[in-house]
Structure 1
Amino acid sequence: MTIRHLKVFVEVCENSSITKTAEIMHIAQPAISQTIADIEKYYNVILFNRINQRLVITETGKILLQKAKEVIANFDEFENLAIATLENPIIHIGASLTFGITHLPRIMNYVKQNYPNVQLLTTINNSKEIEQGVLDGTIDFGIVEGSISNKNIKIENFIDDKLLIVCGYDYPINSKITITELAREKLLLREKGSSSRDHLEHLFNLNGIECFPVMESISNQTIIEATRANLGIAVLPEALVRGHIINKKLKSIELQGVELVRKSYIISHKNKKFNNTFKQIYDYCCSFEK
């Protein structure tokens, strides 16, 4: 049973005539009769009686007519929505907090200028949450830092992201410290699950050191302000603190024997199907600073 069967049934009801319905729908008269017969046989009902060479709808037919109209209306609404979505696609991009500040605005501007009909949704969260959104299908693709191990995630290399150890410009500390000395400082860190926190804790674990921050925050800006106030030491993306260092509000500390560089990726579900517009935007993001 298809939507075509229902449309033929409704048209016959409205015209009370197989012949007239055939003319209106440009379908052969025997095909119209066969369609009605198919419906009656499939559901074991009688839709019409022939009285004085006229088709008269039965009480059962009247009940089904109303439902058929509702189904057709819903189908038409679905079809119109599908067409509108094709003409005005919705794309949901996720980004970690760092890339939400440093790169997402550029992507949004590119989409706005080149694909004005695209409805762009964005989510900024820590890398683990963006990864989960991709797995759930609520996010089409994301830009994240850190390791990705889930086999259902497809990854493309993005850019290398450098982390800096920073403190207030007047904070009393040597310009070069060891990993052990860093662990003894008052650490101002992002929340667990964030890439910068995971990266630092991995480094501590490799050296048999436990991490006990005096402050945790989901906001990079909050950590920057606390660091500028000499409340402790932070580990933050270079892109976010470069200006503060230039303006002598923060200073960078060298970690002996260690360069804090983390990989970043564009991630999508391995089963995600891309239409042409989506693929062009995805490819644009993959071409960043290669």
Structure 2
Amino acid sequence: MDLFSATVHGELRLGASLTIGEYLLPYYLGDFINKYPNVSLMMKIYNSHQIIEKLINQEIDLGFIEATIPHKSIESIPFLEDELVIISSVAHHFPLLEKEAIQPEDLFSLPIIMREKGSGTRQVLEENLLNSNFDPNNLNVILELENTESIKSAVKSGLGVSIISKTAIIKETDLGILRKTNINGVNLKRYFYILNKKQILSPACDAFRELFLSSCR
């Protein structure tokens, strides 16, 4: 531990969307704790709109979200490209999804398990369907869940299909439990963003942001 690391102290409050908080951010927390042991680190999961609100109200110091939500008092930096894919159970038969990609109109005939309104994943899907001249209100949404693991469990059981980050299903696709399928002509690529309020950052906040971004690069 160098002299600068020893002088950085205080509390650092992080707010992360579900995908980033569960499947990405934990890998970086250990490095920071080892380098800055005098910082008390706390991370909580919120949806994207809640993170913006908590940053504005100074309830958290840094936010991590899956879709851009512009706000005049918030600075956002993209740090990683991601892509949404259709996921379905390998054990339960959805003939449409045995192909590598389906046509956009095919999506509307499938029983879909969705994230709640306000989530970055749902925002990206709905915006890109609209950009491709499809109305997301016509999707056959049979269930809404706020937890990615619950969504994956429901899909594994054959209840329906879902559209989530490919980052969240690496283990299941490697094990042959879940299948991923793309949608032809609909761009579901996105960036993950790190956010902070436009103000002078605390030493702990600045140190985490710099360490995190340098690791991502």
User: What TM-score do you get using the length of structure 2 for normalisation?
Assistant: 0.88
Whole-angstrom distance in 2 between the partners of 1:190 and 1:121: 24
Contact kept in structure 2, 1:157 and 1:286, CA below 8 Å: no
Alignment root-mean-square deviation, CA: 1.7
Partner of 1:280: 207
Contact kept in structure 2, 1:158 and 1:288, CA below 8 Å: no
User: What TM-score do you get using the length of structure 1 for normalisation?
Assistant: 0.66
Partner of 1:222: 150
Deviations 1:104-157 (A, max 9, x none): 212321222011111111111112111211111111011111122111110112
Cα deviation for residue 87 of structure 1 reads 6.8
Contact kept in structure 1, 2:129 and 2:186, CA below 8 Å: no
Whole-angstrom distance in 1 between the partners of 2:124 and 2:202: 35
Partner of 2:162: 234
Q: Which contiguous aligned blocks of 4+ residues in structure 1 show a shift greater than 4 angstroms?
A: none
Residue correspondence of structure 1 range 48-59 to structure 2 within 5 A = none
Contact kept in structure 2, 1:158 and 1:264, CA below 8 Å: yes
Contact kept in structure 2, 1:156 and 1:286, CA below 8 Å: no
Partner of 2:111: 186
Whole-angstrom distance in 2 between the partners of 1:120 and 1:98: 19
Contact kept in structure 1, 2:9 and 2:36, CA below 8 Å: no
Partner of 2:95: 173
Equivalent position amino acid for 1:278 in 2: C
SS of the equivalent of 2:181 reads strand
Whole-angstrom distance in 2 between the partners of 1:201 and 1:173: 24
Equivalent position amino acid for 2:93 in 1: Y
Deviations 1:207-235 (A, max 9, x none): 23223411101000010011111111101
Partner of 1:203: 128
SS of the equivalent of 2:108 reads helix
1:186–1:99 CA distance, 2 compared to 1 (3 A): same
Cα deviation for residue 259 of structure 1 reads 3.6
SS of the equivalent of 1:287 reads helix
1:277–1:199 CA distance, 2 compared to 1 (3 A): closer
Cα deviation for residue 101 of structure 1 reads 1.4
Partner of 1:257: 185
Residue correspondence of structure 1 range 121-160 to structure 2 within 5 A = 121-160=42-81
Q: Which has the higher strand share?
A: 2
Q: What is the number of residues matched between the two proteins?
A: 204
Q: What stretches of structure 1 of length at least 5 have no aligned partner?
A: 1-85
Q: What stretches of structure 2 of length at least 5 have no aligned partner?
A: 1-6
1:288–1:131 CA distance, 2 compared to 1 (3 A): farther
Q: Which has the higher contact order (CA 8 A, sep 6+)?
A: 2
SS of the equivalent of 1:214 reads strand
Identity, in percent, stands at 26
SS of the equivalent of 2:123 reads helix
Contact kept in structure 1, 2:12 and 2:204, CA below 8 Å: no
Contact kept in structure 2, 1:145 and 1:264, CA below 8 Å: yes
Which stretch of structure 1 is more off in the superposition, 199-208 or 137-146?
A: 199-208
